[in-house]
Amino acid sequence: MNKHLFPVRALWLASASVCLASTWLTLNVSAQTPASAASRPAAIRSADFIVAVVNSEPITNQEVQTLGQRLQREAQAQGRSVDGPEAKQLALEQLINDKAQLQQARDAGIVVDEDALDQAEAGVASNNQLTREALRQRLQQDGVTLTTFREQLRNQLLLSRVREREVEARIRISDIEVEKFLQEQIKAQAARAPAELNLAMILIVVPENSAEEQIKPLEAQARDVARRARSGENFAELAQTFSQTADRGANGGALGLRPADRYPELFMQAVAALPVGGVSEVLRSGAGFHVLKVLERQQSPATLMATQTRARHILLRLTPQLTQAQALAQLSALRQDIVSGKADFAESAKRLSQDGSAAQGGDLGWASPGMFVPEFEQTMNRLRPGQVAEPLASRFGVHLIEVTDRRDAPMSEAEQGALARNVLRDKKLDEAYVAWAEDVRGRAYVELREPVQ
């Protein structure tokens, strides 16, 4: 679903905690404490200068360098190659856009309070499988002050909120668009679905070890039957008279409606170009000579399918008495016992899990895409049936997940409608975001100064 557009939309379509979780380890660590900045060599300090101004707000060379290095790492992780000059140019463009959009957010009166920052910080810690205390220690080790980190969180939340407000307000999806999309999907799926055929057959048997002089008259008989069938004689009567199948041509030789792949390949090649009512040339197989007639051809009914997963989990909710680190350690030890066969998942879920599925051994039933929070679903989708994931922290607590089964199932009308709206919304969001970002950039005063070094 437009996965190739993720780099554009990742800045704002994901929830703040998920989006920021992938961001904190690559924060702009150039904004260091005064002591660390003072300890750098004079040559490095002097390299930090203003390269651009966006509506009176500066962008420094160090900001561009840091973001450029991050973009190069991300490209490398995705198997792409971005050289230094290209990364710096991309970084400068992104910083200009971000500055302009942040200014629009402030002008629109959008604010991020301390409670929202606290939730975002907790989300970053959770998605990195850390406590907030461990996260802050890691930041300190990386030379990033808590003030700098929270300011970057604030900016990310501001960008997310202004983009959601300004862009999503432009999206309109009509029922007609939904219906058209579904019809196109069903039509495309029907074209890929195997056809079903009903063939009638007349068989002239060739006994095993027959000599050539015995085979020739049998072939001649088959050719005469085929000629008579093509000239308009009743195929069913010809089958009852001449066919040497076990049922002696009962039902006029009709084999019944069945998927094409249930017929021999020899038959399918012979009738591929025939219309309904067409009669084939004489075919030779190990059994003898065949004459075929196409009685019926129809496409299998198309049904939109969704991959459903059946999983079970054990959930430990965090309390003042049970920290995230303790919950992760407890479930990690339990996972080892389950994998080694020392413990049973269902029994452990009944004993430990702290949600409504505990009584069912943690069973969550069959789930279609989108039913769980993203961090849970992403982990679940990576598992094979029978595989138990490492403990996962989510907004609800810490989970131990096992996938028990997976299947393709027909989508209900409601699921089809939701799928169509999501796909259309994603497509329009991409287009609307690009147009809005260009508009914001076009209205901003941008002054390029020194070239990036």
Least confident of 97-106, 220-229, 420-429: 420-429
Name the range with the highest mean pLDDT among 11-25, 32-46, 260-274, 416-430. 260-274
Look at residue 192 in the predicted model and tell me its pLDDT: 66
> What residue spans define the domains of the chain?
3-173+428-448, 194-299, 306-410
| 310 contacts: CB under 8 Å, gap ≥ 6 | 363, 364, 365, 366, 367, 403, 404, 405, 406, 407
CB 330 within 8 A of CB 351: no
Look at residue 417 in the predicted model and tell me its pLDDT: 87
Q: Give the count of beta carbons closer than 10 Å to the beta carbon of residue 65.
A: 21
pTM of the model: 0.51
Look at residue 416 in the predicted model and tell me its pLDDT: 85
- How far from the centroid of its chain's Cα atoms is residue 105's Cα? 31
Name which residue leads in pLDDT, 116 or 55: 55
Dump pLDDT digits (tens) for 274-297. 999 999 999 999 999 999 999 998
Give every strand in the sheet of 363-367, ordered side by side.
363-367, 305-316, 397-410, 392-394
Name which residue leads in pLDDT, 306 or 291: 291
d(CA 195, CA 280): 18
Look at residue 331 in the predicted model and tell me its pLDDT: 94
SS3 assignment for 38-96:
HCCCHHHHHCCCEEEEECCEEEEHHHHHHHHHHHHHHHHHCCCCCCHHHHHHHHHHHHH
Look at residue 349 in the predicted model and tell me its pLDDT: 96
Fold of 306-410: Chitinase A; domain 3 (3.10.50)
Could you tell me the pLDDT band of residue 190, with boundaries at 50, 70 and 90? Answer: low
Fold of 194-299: Chitinase A; domain 3 (3.10.50)
* Percent of the chain clearing pLDDT 70 (strictly above): 87
Least confident of 76-90, 157-171, 178-192: 178-192
Same fold across 194-299 and 306-410:
yes
* Percent of the chain clearing pLDDT 90 (strictly above): 45
Please check the confidence at residue 35 and state whether its pLDDT lies above 60.
no
3-173+428-448 CATH: 1.10.4030.10
Look at residue 41 in the predicted model and tell me its pLDDT: 38
